[in-house]
Every structure is written in structure tokens, then in C-alpha cells.
Amino acid sequence: MGSTSTKIKLRTSDQKVFEVEKAVAVQSQTIKYIYENGCPDSVIHVHSVSGDILSKILDYCKKHVNSAAGKEDISPEELYEWDANFVKVDQNTLFDLILAANCLKIESLLDLTCQTVANMIKGKRPEEIRTTFNIKNDYTIEAEEAVRRENKWAFDMLGGVGTMVIEELADDTMSKCVTNTKSRVCVIAANQIVMMRSISKLANKKSIDVYKQPQNPTTPRIKESVKQRNVGTGFIELFFHFKCKM
Amino acid sequence: MSFKSIIQDMKGEFGSISRKGFDVKFGYGMRSRSHRVVQDSSVPVDVFKQSCWANMPPELLRDVLMRIEASESTWPPRKNVVVCAGVCRNWREIMKEIVKTPEISCKLTFPISLKQPGPRDSLLQCYIKRNRSNQTYYLYLGLNQASNDDGKFLLAARKCRRPTCTDYIISLNCNDVSKGSSTYIGKLRSNFLGTKFTVYDAQPPNAGAKVTKSCSTRLINMKQVSPRVPAGNYPVAHISYELNVLGSRGPRRMHCVMDAIPASSIEPGGVAPTQTEFLHSNLDTFPSLLFFRSKSTRAESFQSGPLSDQKDGMLVLRNKSPRWHEQLQCWCLNFNGRVTVASVKNFQLVASPENAAAGQEHENVILQFGKVGKDVFTMDYQYPISAFQAFAICLSSFDTKIACE
């Protein structure tokens, strides 16, 4: 009896049974190994994966198998997009997907999910990472200070490229150094004016991104008036008044 | 608390640490004693909610961190690697394992990279900017071959003139360059005449060196917040300038003795001492550990062999002799395009056997320094010296009074 497509049965941790095509199931190296070395007719138990997660994983495997086999008309860019949407899930699901991909040994899915987590981490500060992943800060007080110094150093760049955290703005200090309007202030990094913001906007933000080129189109004009008024060094002192906290 | 009971308590601690791959070189953390768990006050922690990420298998966490390290290889994105190391101790251990020293990876990552030998076989290109108004010099890692306007800040040095000598204080913080600061790394001291200089490191060049008395206080008063180990002054290099045989009509001669680097380091198979962490940071090493450090650990931290032998075997660097260019009527050195303005400050240092005759020197340029603009200088260095040592040596070139016509 020859069937055109062999099916494999998979039973999950919550006793759900999935019947899938062999080509899809053997995307998992673990299942492939069991199938080729165990009993091909009986059900394969995937103990550590729940029904919901396995269902998602099988969707992924099916999509990739079909696209590789040409059964589905999907370009590489579209597949990439599909993958990107696939991992737009809540954290718990993402975590479960990683564990399952690891245990089932589906390399491309493990790649995808680990890269997603890496992307979630990039660009964040340590406190934000701890909050996102609910990680306990187990540093001593002194070690935490050292971490702060290390991070401060890591963020120091020439040309003002980077991110500066603003804390405890002293309004009266700022207003002494402003230019034409009392409510605006220039932020200086590396002796270049990089942007202008109103004090209230700065006070509400936790951090600002500092760019090499001024973001505000009026800034070049202000820069000129700053030069004329000879308040250049005043601004630089202002920069040091910011309590740059990591 | 008696000495014996401290040891027994520590043994108990070791027993409970079952994590795979616990690496001795990171020190024995007295985890449940002197540390205090700091909770992020912004997030109310639900005690019943077990974070799933806390149960992430170590190999997967490692995979994620390795991806970050591999993709963020240049600055400014490389700061993400430093950020990850600051999340918690577990992440720090993993990240520190993944990140290789500049000698191997040719990349600077953590501040301690500045105290580690540079890459072998390739020069790390940096530049120095001088700010005359506040007598400060800033060292940057060059990011862009074409311009010296993009750089990663590395170190800052400020000149302090004293009655009998001049000091250059070197710090990790561009805003706070003072000896009392926690970011103080070391200094360069010149003699009155500006002919002899000594480079001092704030911490011992080899982790196995003797520590000061204050560390034993730390061990006994474990419940208190430990006092910071005071910055020491460990000489790591001696630089001297002389007029050459032509007097002031020829380029001056530089002679650098690197106390902390053995001459064998530049030979095939040689190693140079590599610091792994700042001692005063408490991040990875616990200085009181030196109380208990076993022989095997000491051997690990001593990466170079016969350093205990005194004067013999220290690496000596001399400046490469320029050639007189008859047509241009000046002294010339090949800086490979990295130096564009003639200046008496420009130099190239090569290793030189102590007793060698003049002219018998190695070809490999270990440190190169030269002017490219009004207050901009390039500095290229490689193994076996570190960025800190290279910076200090270059600063001496600014200060020395030996000039030539």
C-alpha cells in the first residue's frame, strides 16, 4: 500500500494528537531521528511541547517546506515577512517557541526566535532589559556603581552620537543659558550644538537621542546667535550640569 | 568570626554553586554575605509570577548573547555588549566569556580592554585630540578611516603642573579627570627637566601582586559596605628622551622600558600580562581573595613567566631612526599615511634588544604617533602594549622639552 504522502502522528504534552505530513514533521531533527530509528507507525510523543505551541510550529514548518518545494508561490522577501509576523507574539509564547525549537531541533526556527530575542535586547539599557525579562538585579551596591561607570563610558562618543539620559533638570540653570526664547535650551555634545528642545519636553523625557546633525532646522540660526552672544562656554558648562545617569 | 569558620562558610557556598562552567578566574563571590539584592523600584514584582526567562536554559541564553556580540562589532552599537554585561551577574559571566581580548578579536569592548595588549599583527588606529584651554587630551578609537571626526571615546588625560614635576592624570571619564575619581586609571609623571617620565598604573599590572592592608578589613567587616581599595601607584613604564649624536640638529632618541611586559612577549609564543578586571569595581574579582588564592589560580593570573626576575627580560622600545632625505632636507619616517604633518613629536617605537648595537632593531612598529592637524594626532598601537600604556607614552611626547631644530 503506497500512500503518496506519509503521515506522522504527534502527541503533545497535553494529549493532543496532530497528524502531519512526514516532510513537514522531519523539519525537526528530533522527530526525524525518532521516526527513522523508532517505530514509524505508532505515535511520536513530544513531551515538552503543548498543543498550542506545536500547532504554531507545524504552521512554520509547513510554510517553509512548501516554499522550498515550490508548492507555494512565495518570494524570499515574503517568506521573511511571514517569519517576522510569526514571531510577533507575547513573551510567554515566544519563550515556549524557543524551548520547543531547541528541544525539537528545528534550526531555522531556533535561529529566528533567538534572533528575535536578541533584537528585543539591543538598544535597551540594563534596567529596561531587567524589566522586559523580569530579571533580578543581583549586583552589590559597589558593583552597581561600577556597572554604571562602565556603561557611561560605553555611551561616550565623539560627535555627540549616542543617547543621553537627562535627570533632575535644574530649570533655573537652564533659563540662564537659553537663547532667544526663554523656554528653549541647546544641548551640546562634543562642543557642537546638536539639538534644541523646550525645557518642559526635556523634563518629561527620560532620555534623548543625540545626533550628529542638528535635528531642528532652526538650530543653525541659533548657533550663529550663540556665537555672537559669546555664550558658547556657558552652554558647555550647562552640558556638564546635566546629571548624565546611565 | 574566626578565620576557620570563614573558610568553612565559604566551602559551604562552593557546594551550593552547582552552575556548570563556574570559572575560577572570576573570583569567589561571597554572594549571600556582603551583597544586597537591589530591586528595580519602578516595577512591582509579583511574587507569584515566575518569570519564564529566569528558566531559560543557559545554552540558549548564551546563543542570544553570542548573536548580540557578533552583530554589534563596531562602535557605537558595541555598547549593547557592555549593556548586556550590566544586566545581572549571570549575563556578565557569559558575556565576559564570549568577548575575547583585543589581542585576539582586534576589538575594544569593555573599559578593561584599554588595559589589555592590543591586537597582534595589526595596528589599532586611534587618535588624540588636544584641548589647549583646559589642558586636556582625549583619546578616541578611530571608527572611520577617512576622517578623524567619528570616534569612540576611550581615555582622557589632564595636565597638572607641580613645582618639581608634571603629572598627566588619566581617566575613563571625559568629564572628571582627577586622581580621586573612581574612574582614575593611572598617570604619567615627568621629571623637572621633562627628560624622564614614569607611567603609573592605579592597580597592580599583575593580579597576583600584593594588596594593601585595607583589604583585610573588608574581609572581617563583612556586614558593612566595603571601603574602596585606594588607588595605588604601580610603575609600569619608564620613558627617557635624549638628544641624539647630532645634538639638537637631529631627531631626539626615545627609550622606553616596559616594566610590566617581558621581552619574551614579542618572541614567537610569547605572552604579555593581561588584566581581566578593575580591582576596585568588585564586579568580578574580590581582592580579599588573594588571602585564599591557591597556587593554581596564581599561576593562571600570571600569564607571563619570569616576571619576578627583576631587571632582566623587560621589554625595551626605542624609536625608529628616521632617514635623512637629501632632497627634502628633512628626516623621514614611513608612517603609512597615518601622519601628515611634520613635527618633532612624531615617532615610531619598535622593540629593541637591550644590548643591541645601533641600527639592530626589530622592524615591527609597536606604537606610532604623529600629527595630522592643529590639535589632532593619530596613535596606532599593537601587541604587546595596551591602549593605556600607548596613550601615556604619547603624552610624554607632548611634554618633553627635548626638541630639535
Sorted by where each begins, the domain ranges of chain A are 5-121
Residues of B in contact with A161 (CB under 8 A): 76, 150
What pLDDT score was predicted for residue B65? 93
Asked if residue B239 lies in contact with residue B252, where contact means CB atoms within 8 angstroms, the answer is: no
Q: Using CB atoms and an 8 Å cut-off, which of residues 197-216 of chain B contact chain A? A: none
Residues of A in contact with B68 (CB under 8 A): 118, 121-122
**CA–CA distance, B284 with B281 (Å, rounded to integer):** 8
Judged by average pLDDT, the poorest of B40-54, B157-171, B342-356 is: B40-54
What pLDDT score was predicted for residue B46? 42
What pLDDT score was predicted for residue B283? 64
Would you say residue B227 has pLDDT above 80? no
**CA–CA distance, B204 with A194 (Å, rounded to integer):** 41
| Average pLDDT for A226-240 | 30
Distance from CA of A39 to the nearest CA of B (A): 30
Q: Is B229 on the interface with A (CB under 8 A)?
A: no
Residues of B in contact with A130 (CB under 8 A): 40, 87-88
What pLDDT score was predicted for residue B305? 40
Q: Where residue B401 falls among pLDDT bands split at 50, 70, 90?
A: low
What pLDDT score was predicted for residue A39? 67
Burial A155-191 (b: 16+ CB within 10 A, else e): bbbbbbbbebbbeebeeeebeebbbeeeebbbbbbbe
Distance from CA of A127 to the nearest CA of B (A): 7
Would you say residue A57 has pLDDT above 90? yes
Output the pTM of the full model: 0.71
pLDDT of B114-166, one tens digit each?
999 999 988 999 999 888 888 889 999 988 776 666 788 899 999 998 888 89
Alpha helices of B45-110 — where are they, by DSSP H?
A: 58-71, 79-85, 89-98, 102-105
Would you say residue B319 has pLDDT above 60? yes
What pLDDT score was predicted for residue A64? 92
Judged by average pLDDT, the poorest of A27-31, B161-165, B301-305, B337-341 is: B301-305
Distance from CA of A113 to the nearest CA of B (A): 9
Would you say residue B29 has pLDDT above 60? no
**CA–CA distance, B156 with B153 (Å, rounded to integer):** 8
Contact: A131, B183; criterion CB under 8 Å: no
Nearest CA in chain A to B45: A134
- Nearest-by-Cβ selection for B80 from A117, A122, A139: A122
Contact: B40, A98; criterion CB under 8 Å: no
* Pairing outcome for strands A192-198 and A184-189: antiparallel
Q: Count of A–B CB contacts within 8 Å?
A: 166
| Chain A interface disruption, residue of B45, B63, B214, most A CBs within 10 A | B63
Would you say residue B272 has pLDDT above 80? yes
Residue A28: how many other CB atoms lie within 10 Å:
27
Distance from CA of A110 to the nearest CA of B (A): 9
What pLDDT score was predicted for residue B77? 85
Residues of A in contact with B222 (CB under 8 A): none
- Nearest-by-Cβ selection for B76 from A114, A134, A161: A161
Q: Where residue A7 falls among pLDDT bands split at 50, 70, 90?
A: confident
Paired strand residues for B188? B168, B199
**CA–CA distance, B109 with B157 (Å, rounded to integer):** 20
Contact: A114, B68; criterion CB under 8 Å: no
Asked if residue B303 lies in contact with residue B265, where contact means CB atoms within 8 angstroms, the answer is: no
Would you say residue B26 has pLDDT above 90? no
Q: Where residue B341 falls among pLDDT bands split at 50, 70, 90?
A: confident
Judged by average pLDDT, the poorest of B49-63, B171-185, B194-208, B388-402 is: B49-63
- Higher-confidence position of A69 and A215: A69
Q: What is the mean pLDDT of chain A?
A: 68
| Average pLDDT for B214-233 | 48
CATH entry 3.30.710.10 includes domain A5-121: yes
Q: Is B61 on the interface with A (CB under 8 A)?
A: no
Contact: A134, B54; criterion CB under 8 Å: yes
Nearest 5°: the CA angle A50, A56, A59 is 135
Taking the CA atoms of chain A, what radius of gyration do you get in angstroms?
A: 28
> Which own/partner contact pairs does B169-172 have at CB distance under 8 Å and 24+ positions apart?
B170/B388, B170/B391, B170/B392, B172/A149, B172/A153, B172/B111, B172/B114
Would you say residue B81 has pLDDT above 90? yes
Q: Using CB atoms and an 8 Å cut-off, which of residues 77-136 of chain B contact chain A? A: 77-80, 82-89, 91, 110-111, 129
Would you say residue A19 has pLDDT above 50? yes
Would you say residue B361 has pLDDT above 70? no
pLDDT of B280-294, one tens digit each?
666 664 333 333 333
Taking Cα atoms as reference points, which of B95, B92, B97, B89 lies closest to residue B35? B89
Distance from CA of B50 to the nearest CA of A (A): 9
**CA–CA distance, A136 with B30 (Å, rounded to integer):** 17
- Nearest-by-Cβ selection for A102 from B60, B68, B149: B60
Return the percentage of chain A with pLDDT > 70, whole number: 61
Q: What is the mean pLDDT of chain B?
A: 74
Residues of A in contact with B281 (CB under 8 A): 142-143, 146, 149-150
**CA–CA distance, A41 with B396 (Å, rounded to integer):** 79
Q: Using CB atoms and an 8 Å cut-off, which of residues 230-249 of chain B contact chain A? A: none
Taking Cα atoms as reference points, which of B158, B230, B170 lies closest to residue B199? B170
Judged by average pLDDT, the poorest of A36-50, B27-41, B102-116, B327-341 is: B27-41
- Helices then strands, each counted (H, E), chain B: 9, 14
| Chain B interface disruption, residue of A48, A105, A111, A122, most B CBs within 10 A | A122
- Nearest-by-Cβ selection for B38 from A124, A144, A154: A144
Q: Where residue B310 falls among pLDDT bands split at 50, 70, 90?
A: very low
Taking Cα atoms as reference points, which of A117, A107, A111, A103 lies closest to residue A54? A103
| Average pLDDT for B353-359 | 54
Q: Is B183 on the interface with A (CB under 8 A)?
A: yes
Residues of A in contact with B51 (CB under 8 A): 133-135
Judged by average pLDDT, the poorest of A160-164, B142-146, B184-188, B397-401 is: A160-164
Taking Cα atoms as reference points, which of A79, A155, A23 lies closest to residue B81? A155
Residues of B in contact with A151 (CB under 8 A): 79, 82-83, 86
| Average pLDDT for A20-40 | 85
Distance from CA of A75 to the nearest CA of B (A): 26
Would you say residue B222 has pLDDT above 70? no
| Average pLDDT for A32-59 | 85
What pLDDT score was predicted for residue B95? 93
Taking Cα atoms as reference points, which of B236, B239, B246, B173 lies closest to residue B200? B236
Q: Where residue A61 falls among pLDDT bands split at 50, 70, 90?
A: very high
pLDDT of A111-159, one tens digit each?
999 999 999 898 888 888 888 888 888 899 888 888 988 888 888 765 4
| Average pLDDT for B339-351 | 86
What pLDDT score was predicted for residue A54? 92
Here the ipTM equals 0.73
Which grid cell sits at B119?
Answer: 591586537
**CA–CA distance, B333 with B325 (Å, rounded to integer):** 10
- Higher-confidence position of B81 and B246: B81
What pLDDT score was predicted for residue A208? 41
